[in-house]
Amino acid sequence: MSNKMYENFTEVLKHELVPALGCTEPIAIAFTAAKAREVLGHMPEKMKVSCSGNIVKNVKSVTVPSTDGLKGIASSAIAGAVNGDSSLEYEVLKPITRENVETVRHFLEEGMCEVGLLDTEAVLDIEVRMSAGNDSVVVEVKDEHTHIDHIEKNGEIIYQAKSEAAAENAVMLDPDTTLPDILWYADHVDLNDVKDIIEEQINKNLMIAEEGLRRPYGANVGKNIMKTCRDCTDKAVAYAAAGSDARMDGCKLPVVINSGSGNQGLTVSMPVYIFAEEYNVSHEKMLRAVVFSNMTAIYQKSKLGKLSAYCGAVSAACASGAAITYMLGGTYEQIENTLTNAIATLSGIVCDGAKASCAAKIATAVDSAILAHKMAMSGDVLKSGEGLIADTLQETIEAYTTMGRDGMRETDRMILKMMTS
């Protein structure tokens, strides 16, 4: 691996693995509204929030953190405007107090915030307009959850992201990346470069998973699995699902995300951690396996895009299963075969928004990914020519991600149409 690619991988990990409070789409709305209120200089009298379809889909049914059970676009925006801190980015709602929640409820009842659908080609696009007296502000966040595209105050553009500069400075995975590159990086990365963020991911995600197993959240998917836990596989599935149970239901504990998603952050880390504990894997090997899991998920998502009708838990679970194979001494061929088995089995699970059932989808995906691992370790692999499986793993990933990115666009439109009608 060249020094340039090594530095790219390390930078990508540091960029992607950050703490987030709650589901990242409501948080993105709260971040945009908090920034708009800060520019306005005082609490607005009126607000309008317009979002792309994928944002609408992922905010409709999920609990906004720190709001005692409030849901939806207006709740997210008003919470951000009332006491959000945009400098905290994914943890923008951390300062919200009980008194603030009552204020949010009051503004909701007053109908202060109008909600609309944004006419945009971008899958991640949020525009907040707010006014008070003679002052007005427009803030747009686009492409990434905390990337401000432009700010307008009283009809004058006061900030405009330069698209050329943004493209040059964007932290993106090297497009020439292959699975052998990721494997080499996991084997050879200086852990001093990534240890802090990987350990933070494990520790924070373990904390919220344990919280999800202790108390009732959402549909209690993780708790129900643990009631009849038979082995390490059930425990790995339960921990990943329980973390999602908690965060989808507004738990105030943060999750360290992957590819802009807390659910994906949980899915790439918890199963690997549980298997490492079960098999007494060394701390170093476990860290390297979590590096491999994160990078493999990011590799798949770089081809899919941040948001689509293709459930992100699929990519994350496939990566987690392959990382378990890697951690337990599997050969390169067995690692490849784990990914082939998992991708061919799981692809097609649709994303119909962020909500309680995300935990059940994570449970299904992780269970299938561990089955894919067991098959690969036994020498069993789904064959080329079956469905979209190609001659090489690289071609197989290209086939399934193209199907998810391009082929499922109409599915995405239909899901949004059904939700909004």
What's the farthest any 2 CA atoms get from each other in the chain? 70
Q: Whole-angstrom Cα distance, residue 22 to residue 58?
A: 12
In the three-class reduction of DSSP (H, G, I as helix; E, B as strand; rest coil), residue 75 is classed as helix
Task: Please give the DSSP secondary-structure letter assigned to residue 20.
Answer: E
In this predicted model, what pLDDT tens digit does every residue of 162-216 receive, in sequence order? Answer: 864 444 456 899 999 999 999 999 999 999 999 999 999 999 999 999 999 999 9
Task: Find the mean pLDDT for residues 18-46.
Answer: 95
Q: Which of 33, 142, 150 is nearest to 96 (CA)?
A: 33
Strand 148-153 versus strand 135-142 pairing type? antiparallel
Q: Which of 2, 335, 339, 330 is nearest to 181 (CA)?
A: 2
Q: What share of the chain is helix, strand, coil (3-state, %, to 5)?
A: 60, 10, 30
pLDDT at 163 (0 to 100): 66
pTM of the model: 0.92
Q: Whole-angstrom Cα distance, residue 199 to residue 419?
A: 39
Comparing 19-23, 93-97, 161-165, 209-213, which segment has the lowest mean pLDDT?
161-165
Q: Whole-angstrom Cα distance, residue 321 to residue 298?
A: 14
- For the chain, what is the mean pLDDT? 94
The model's confidence at residue 76, banded by pLDDT at 50, 70 and 90, is very high
Question: At 345, which amino acid appears?
Answer: T
CA dist 397 → 179, 319, 323, 393 (Å): 10, 12, 16, 6
In this predicted model, what pLDDT tens digit does every residue of 288-300 receive, in sequence order? Answer: 999 999 999 999 9
Q: Whole-angstrom Cα distance, residue 98 to residue 420?
A: 31
Phi-psi region of 72 (alpha: psi -120 to 50; beta: other; left: phi over 0): left
Write phi, then psi, for 48 (nearest 5 degrees): -135, 130
Instruction: Look up tokens 């490492």; give the residue.
Output: 276
Query: What is the b/e burial string over 297-327, where b = at least 16 CB atoms within 10 angstroms of the residue's CB?
Result: bbbbbbbbbbbbbbbbbbbbbbbbbbbbbbb
Task: Find the mean pLDDT for residues 303-325.
Answer: 92
Instruction: Look up tokens 């373990």; give the residue.
Output: 206
Q: Whole-angstrom Cα distance, residue 106 to residue 125?
A: 27
pLDDT at 168 (0 to 100): 43
- Cβ pair 310, 347 in contact under 8 A: yes
pLDDT at 220 (0 to 100): 97
- Cβ pair 58, 353 in contact under 8 A: yes
Q: Is the pLDDT of residue 408 over 60?
A: yes
Partnered with residue 141 across adjacent β-strands are 126, 148
Strand 156-160 versus strand 148-153 pairing type? antiparallel
Q: Which of 87, 66, 64 is nearest to 74 (CA)?
A: 64
- Cβ pair 24, 54 in contact under 8 A: no
In the three-class reduction of DSSP (H, G, I as helix; E, B as strand; rest coil), residue 369 is classed as helix
In this predicted model, what pLDDT tens digit does every residue of 331-380 receive, in sequence order? Answer: 999 999 999 999 999 988 999 888 889 999 999 999 999 999 999 999 99
Write phi, then psi, for 236 (nearest 5 degrees): -60, -45
In the three-class reduction of DSSP (H, G, I as helix; E, B as strand; rest coil), residue 178 is classed as coil
Q: How much of the chain, in percent, has pLDDT values that exceed 90?
A: 84
Task: Find the mean pLDDT for residues 256-265.
Answer: 95
pLDDT at 413 (0 to 100): 86
